[in-house]
Amino acid sequence: MTARPLRAAVAFTVALVALSGLAYLLQQTLYARPTTMDLTPAAAGQPGQPPSAVPAAPAVPSVPSGSEAASGGESDVPVIDETWLQQTSTASGVPVTALRAYARAELMAPGGCGIGWTTLAGIGWVESQHGLIGGRVLLLDGRSSEPILGPALNGVGNVMAIPATRESRRWHGDKVWDHAFGPMQFISSTWVAWQSDGDGDGVSDPNDLDDAAYAAARYLCAGERDLASAAGWTAGILSYNNARSYLDAVHVAATAYADRTR
């Protein structure tokens, strides 16, 4: 690697690490979801306006279902080409396990939605750094080495007040207040509505990035939303977290991943 590409790669990594410090702070004041990106007007657009361009996701190649590489798995779950995964992971910095989850979710999303893996990766970075937040390790089964919980939604400050339910307690253990949980930071009511099995193991688990990414894709595509358009993409991200700072953070992250993998 020459000096110039090396400096660019180091600068990108340093920026992401530095910006991740903002995640915890915003997580305390927004809907249990952090932002991680320092923004520029060129990246964010004018306040109140949708991003001028939707992050373009490079095509995800899947292995034909009849091939030897695809045999033995769930027929409804696409198998992503391993060479593409390795090359794209190296270029983007997204761990292979996380990238596989985002890529499969793109291919399994409702037809016509236009969601790209880069959008899911942008959300995954902002929410939990792809399951790695706080020094966690993303295991091969899509689960982090320790559960990821947002702060108590107790109404203190700008945090919404959402009481815990019997259903939500199973995910966060708090008998009083709800929390967002998992690498994509679902709350219980949303998970109940959109729970998904993204890896074909017969279980829908919000702590499994495979399942959480697919659920996020389905949620973002609801109502026949077109995420290939700037307006549709903006509406989708704001439905996930209705904050301009969140929209901007996801846009910057998703655009960075798209640019690094062209």
Q: pLDDT tens digits, residue range 64-78?
A: 654 444 433 455 899
**Nearest to 228, CA basis, from 54, 70, 98:** 54
On the question of pLDDT at 258 being above 80, the answer is yes
Q: Are 115 and 104 in contact (CB under 8 A)?
A: no
What tokens appear for 16 in the block?
């992401």
Q: Are 246 and 252 in contact (CB under 8 A)?
A: no
Q: Name residue, tokens 């009083």.
A: 176
The pLDDT-based confidence of 12 (bands split at 50, 70, 90) is very low
The upper half-sphere exposure of residue 44, i.e. CA atoms within 13 Å in the direction of its Cβ, equals 15
The stretches of 2-160 forming alpha helices (DSSP H) are 3-27, 41-44, 82-92, 96-108, 117-128
Q: Are 232 and 115 in contact (CB under 8 A)?
A: no
Q: What is the pLDDT of residues 75-108, one digit of tens each?
A: 589 999 999 999 999 999 999 999 999 999 999 9
Q: What whole-number distance in Å separates Cα of residue 15 and Cα of residue 248? A: 15
For range 114-120, the mean pLDDT? 97
For range 13-30, the mean pLDDT? 41
Quote the crossing angle between the two packed helices 96-108 and 117-128, to the nearest 10°.
130
For range 136-152, the mean pLDDT? 96
Q: What whole-number distance in Å separates Cα of residue 262 and Cα of residue 258? A: 6
* 3-state SS, residue 96: helix
pLDDT at 75: 59
**Which residues, in sequence order, are CB contacts of 231 under 8 Å at separation 6+?**
50
On the question of pLDDT at 195 being above 70, the answer is yes
Q: What whole-number distance in Å separates Cα of residue 139 and Cα of residue 221? A: 27
The upper half-sphere exposure of residue 118, i.e. CA atoms within 13 Å in the direction of its Cβ, equals 26
**Nearest to 123, CA basis, from 139, 106, 140:** 106
On the question of pLDDT at 131 being above 90, the answer is yes
Q: Name residue, tokens 């990035």.
A: 209
Q: Are 242 and 102 in contact (CB under 8 A)?
A: no
**Nearest to 121, CA basis, from 217, 31, 11, 44:** 217
Q: What percent of the chain shows pLDDT beyond 70?
A: 76
Does the pTM surpass 0.85? The reply is: no
Q: What is the pLDDT of residues 35-73, one digit of tens each?
A: 333 323 233 334 445 677 888 888 899 876 544 444 334
Q: What whole-number distance in Å separates Cα of residue 65 and Cα of residue 78? A: 8
Q: What whole-number distance in Å separates Cα of residue 256 and Cα of residue 252? A: 6
The upper half-sphere exposure of residue 154, i.e. CA atoms within 13 Å in the direction of its Cβ, equals 9
Q: What is the pLDDT of residues 218-241, one digit of tens each?
A: 999 999 999 999 999 999 999 999
E strand segments, the chain: 62-63, 79-80
Cα 149-193-252 angle, rounded to 5 deg: 55
